[in-house]
Structure 1
Amino acid sequence: MELMKVLYISDNHGDAAILNRVAATFKDEVDVMLHCGDSNLPNTDPTMTPYQTVRGNTDWGLTYPRMITTTVAGVKLGVTHGDKDQVNTSLLPLSLRAQAAEVAVMGYGHTHQLAVTVDQGILLINPGSISQPRGEYRDLKGTFAIVEVTDQAFKVQYYNRQMQPVPTLAMQFSRD
């Protein structure tokens, strides 16, 4: 049974057009859209209205919080940028933050590289950078992710900038 769907996106670095396209395409398909920071757009910009957003390391002078938790359909979700959690070198600080916040899913950005794992029963997910990807999947030209949470599993699907699912980036993790 599906409990809820969350869209995670990150690191658009001022690219408002892609955020508008993603929101227009998926706003009616997901329960909440969480932005993992480095939007480089102020919260007064209408582009940001559909997203609950955190501040990243290049969001100079912007007033977004460093971390957000929200509960949707009984599932507690978190989002942070990750730069203060040293995500470039280890996921341990992020995992500890997620455990302390008692979230089921924690989204983060900063590395510009997509990544997903389950640690201590918590899904840790980096949607990758939608506008400036790095690493193994940079040739996709940018990614974001939708996570479906059920009682039994986390179902993850990554999408490209053309709003298409990437077949090789669909996965499922047990919640037990």
Structure 2
Amino acid sequence: MKRILAVADTHLREWKLPEKLLEMLDNADIVVHAGDFESYEVYKKFSEYNLYAVAGNSDDEAVREELENELTFEVEGLRFGLVHRGNFINQFHDLGYKAMELDVDVLVFGHLHRFVLEEIRGKLLICPGSPTQPRMSVASCAEIVVNRSKVDVRYHVVQPLFCGMDVYEKLEGCR
């Protein structure tokens, strides 16, 4: 069994991750980052883990020089693909085609800043969301447990942020 932590769109200039995400990083066998670290410093910190990563559209030049735009790898007999973004013009069908083009079972992608789990043409598509800059969602990541070619995807809220607002702070005025 392998535990994969999937993240994307951290958009950080320095290493300031939510405590829950740091704990999850320490417990993961593999970390995948679907782009937009933003800074090389943050990318290098993620590199201290067993990292598979691609460049995003907001990454520093140094990150883009070091990382590819797409990547494939295998875990427990399943083929994984990693990209930052698709065209999103028709409900993720372009990413389904990208998964077929890469010949992968699971495609992890970013750019949306919100969690997505879809199956298209037998391909599992996962966007873990953003743990630090969510859009129209809460701050999140995805845990992918692979056991003998079986996949279990778990959605995790990592801090009380909704669209960049501190949820607890906003709730104080509602009581």
State the TM bucket, normalised to the shorter chain. Answer: 0.7 to 0.9
After TM superposition, give the deviation of residue 160 of structure 1 in Å: 2.0
In the alignment, is residue 40 of structure 1 matched against residue 41 of structure 2?
A: no
In the alignment, is residue 78 of structure 1 matched against residue 77 of structure 2?
A: no
Mark the CA change 1:43 to 1:120 in structure 2 (over 3 Å): closer, same or farther. farther
Cα deviations by residue, 1:37-77 (Å, 9 ceiling, x for unpaired): 11012279531212321111111412211011111222111
In the alignment, is residue 68 of structure 1 matched against residue 65 of structure 2?
A: no
- SS state at 1:126 partner: strand
CA contact (8 A) 2:131 2:158 kept: yes
Match of 2:169 in 1: none
Letter of the 2:57 partner, please give it: N
Mark the CA change 1:70 to 1:30 in structure 2 (over 3 Å): closer, same or farther. same
Q: Distance in 2 between matches of 1:87 and 1:53?
A: 21
After TM superposition, give the deviation of residue 12 of structure 1 in Å: 0.5
Q: TM (normalized to structure 2)? A: 0.76
Q: TM (normalized to structure 1)? A: 0.75
Match of 1:169 in 2: none
Match of 1:4 in 2: 2
* 1:11-160 to 2 correspondences below 5 Å: 11-14=9-12, 16-18=15-17, 22=21, 24-27=22-25, 29-42=27-40, 46-49=44-47, 50=49, 51-61=51-61, 62-63=64-65, 64-82=67-85, 85-87=86-88, 89-135=90-136, 137=137, 140=138, 142-150=139-147, 153-160=150-157
Letter of the 1:147 partner, please give it: I
Cα deviations by residue, 1:102-146 (Å, 9 ceiling, x for unpaired): 2111111101111101112211011011111111x2xx3x10001
Task: Give the share of equivalent positions with the same residue, in percent.
Answer: 25
Match of 1:172 in 2: none
Q: Distance in 1 between matches of 2:43 and 2:8?
A: 16
Q: Distance in 1 between matches of 2:146 and 2:75?
A: 10
Letter of the 1:5 partner, please give it: R
List gaps (5 residues or longer) in structure 1. 163-176
Q: Distance in 1 between matches of 2:101 and 2:141?
A: 26
Structure 1 runs of 4+ with >6 Å offset: none
Deviates more, 1:143-152 or 1:64-73: 143-152
CA contact (8 A) 2:128 2:155 kept: yes
CA contact (8 A) 2:145 2:151 kept: yes
CA contact (8 A) 1:42 1:48 kept: no
Aligned pairs, number: 154
Mark the CA change 1:17 to 1:158 in structure 2 (over 3 Å): closer, same or farther. same
Greater Rg over alpha carbons, structure: 2
After TM superposition, give the deviation of residue 90 of structure 1 in Å: 3.3
- SS state at 2:95 partner: helix
Mark the CA change 1:88 to 1:42 in structure 2 (over 3 Å): closer, same or farther. farther
Mark the CA change 1:105 to 1:43 in structure 2 (over 3 Å): closer, same or farther. farther
After TM superposition, give the deviation of residue 101 of structure 1 in Å: 1.2
